[in-house]
Structure 1
Amino acid sequence: MDRLTIIKVGGKVVEEPESLNALLDQFDHISGNKLLVHGGGRTATEVAKKLGIETKMVEGRRITDADMLEVVTMVYGGLVNKRIVAGLQSRGMNAIGLTGADLDLIKAHKRPVKDIDYGFVGDVDDVNPAELRLLINENVVPVIAPLTHDGKGHLLNTNADTIASELASELSNYYSVYLFYCFEKRGVLVDPDDESSVIYDLDLALFNQYKNEGVISDGMIPKLENGFRAKMKGVKEILITNPENIATGRGTRLV
């Protein structure tokens, strides 16, 4: 099968022009088919603050009421997405910005209320990659924003790591998929303040141990949970790293 590289970018990397440009330069050098999934949570938080809308987070997941849904739709589907698309076009890559609603790409349902009401947050039900594959096979680079739809006219905020994992899992039926979770750190760190404390090989048992001990916490938890899920569904390789190490393949490898 042909290789497909999926880069999920978030954190400071996607928020700051200098780091985003460095990421896009590295992305440009990846050969073969490629796809980019992005976050943009910090920008959404900043825009919400300017609009007087409070941001609430639980274990790295954003509580999304009706006002916050409007903010993330504007920021993820508009500002951040089109900045990346423009940056790729400037490097000679023909890119298209999409959400899960476009091409009926990703359907989801509103997360049921259990202990926490996450509001308009979507849990993925179905990925429909047919048209996406046509784009990829024509050397178009899809840039996917973390928004889905329920098929009834409603948009839902969906974790970008989940989007990347679900797309990688489904597309692994058609390509040899390499999934890179890319952010500002060199990988998953034992000590967040020590860049040399990278965990180079991480299996599920060690992940659960570190999670219980609080070594791995907050937004890293859904990232790794989604990564392991994708690995079990046939994704060839999953790496958590920073832009500089996309080419070297160094970082935290899920095994």
Structure 2
Amino acid sequence: MKIHVVKIGGHLINNEKLLNYSLESFCNLIGDKILIHGGGEKADSISDKMGIPKRIVEGRRITNKDTLDIVVMTYAGIINKNIVAKLQSYQCNALGFSGADGNCIKSSTRKDNNIDYGYVGDITDKSINTDLIRFLLKIDIIPVFCSITHDGRGTLLNTNADTIAAYIAISLSKYYQVELHFCFEKKGVLRNIKDSESFYRKINFSLFQKIKKDHTMINHGMIPKLENAFLALKNGVTKVNIGHPFHLLSNNDLNKTVLCL
């Protein structure tokens, strides 16, 4: 049985027209599906209004206590519940989750000798409550996960949404044929960030290593996204795509960036 794991992020979250299109396309996918969302731009906007500066290192957010409060409020509250409400309007019976709800995603505080990431959680495939997710799918509930996890000791942690999508896909690959979609506002992974038509149709792991070494594609956290994409491919996920949400309902691989080993 095929299952679609879809992560949406980037400008899609802040652009109502694009978000509505993304969610309607998601609802029209045939078969079981799961949605994971980010929301960094919305969190940045709220941080700016509150006078709390953001700090990003290597495409990843540094999360102090004030920032944690903002991302929990933004991701698990404003964005998650608005997405669930929109999905319901498309007759898509969704239920929104943080990692703490139902013990869905348990994480551990990131340990790094060089950078203090603060309240940031790292996960593995064992972090995912696969039994609960499979039960929800069985009763026709569509899970919608934000990028907030928990450590099992009462602390919420900010976790990269691409990483969550990858590990949910990996954990489900033992039971399903999993297709993982990373959706954002571009058509795919761009060769030239100033040219929206310059996207790669296919990236294999060797090319990714070259791109990473040459520092040619750092913009908007694309390197961590691709790292998660290849992690998924190496651990049982059938197919991984990166591109605009219009590719969700298209079987044409020329309309998106397809990852392969």
**TM-score, with structure 1 as normaliser:** 0.97
Deviation at 1:113, TM superposition (A): 3.1
Residue 223, structure 1, aligned to residue 225, structure 2 = yes
Tell me what 1:254 maps to.
259
- 1:52 and 2:51 correspond: yes
CA distance in 1, matches of 2:139, 2:162: 25
Q: How far is 1:81 from its partner?
A: 0.4
**Alignment partners' CA distance in 1, 2:138 and 2:222:** 32
CA positional deviation for 1:214: 2.1
Percent identity over paired residues: 43
| Structure 1 SS opposite 2:154 | coil
The aligned length equals 254
Q: Supply the distance in 1 between the matched residues of 2:210 and 2:60 (Cα, whole angstroms).
A: 21
User: In the alignment, is residue 130 of structure 1 matched against residue 131 of structure 2?
Assistant: yes
AA at the equivalent of 1:177: V
**1:49 Cα shift?**
1.1
- CA RMSD after TM alignment: 1.0
The aligned residue for residue 185 of structure 1 is 186
Instruction: State the partner residue of 1:214.
Output: 215
- Report how far residue 52 of structure 1 moved: 1.4
What is residue 175 of structure 1 aligned with on the other side?
Answer: 176
Residue ranges of structure 1 left out of the alignment (5+ in a row): none
Q: Which residue of 2 aligns with 1:80?
A: 79
Query: Mapping of 1:91-240 within 5 angstroms?
Result: 91-125=90-124, 126-218=127-219, 219-240=221-242
Aligned to 1:243: 245
Of stretches 196-205 and 67-76 in structure 1, the one that deviates more from structure 2 is 196-205
Q: Deviations over 1:83-141 (max 9, x none)?
A: 11000000001100001111111111111132111110001142121111111111111
Q: Deviations over 1:132-162 (max 9, x none)?
A: 1111111111100001111101000000000
The list of structure 1 runs, each at least 4 consecutive aligned residues, that deviate by more than 2 angstroms after superposition, is none
Structure 1 position 195, deviation (Å) = 2.1
Provide the C-alpha distance between the structure 2 equivalents of 1:14 and 1:129, rounded to a whole number of angstroms.
26
User: What letter corresponds to residue 209 of structure 1 in structure 2?
Assistant: K
Q: String of CA shifts for 1:28-72, please: whole Å, max 9, x gaps.
A: 210100010000000001111111111000121100000000000
**Aligned position for 1:23:** 22
TM (norm. structure 2) is 0.95
Return the alpha-carbon distance in structure 1 between the equivalents of residues 99 and 159 of structure 2: 9
Distance 1:141 1:216 in 2: 33
**How far apart in 2 are the matches of 1:176 and 1:232?**
14
Secondary structure at the aligned position of 1:116 is classed as coil
2:107 partner SS: strand
Q: Bigger CA drift: 33-42 or 197-206?
A: 197-206
**Alpha-carbon separation, structure 1, partners of 2:245 and 2:57:** 27
Q: Which runs of 5+ in 2 are unaligned?
A: none
- Of 186-195 and 76-85, the range deviating more from structure 2: 186-195
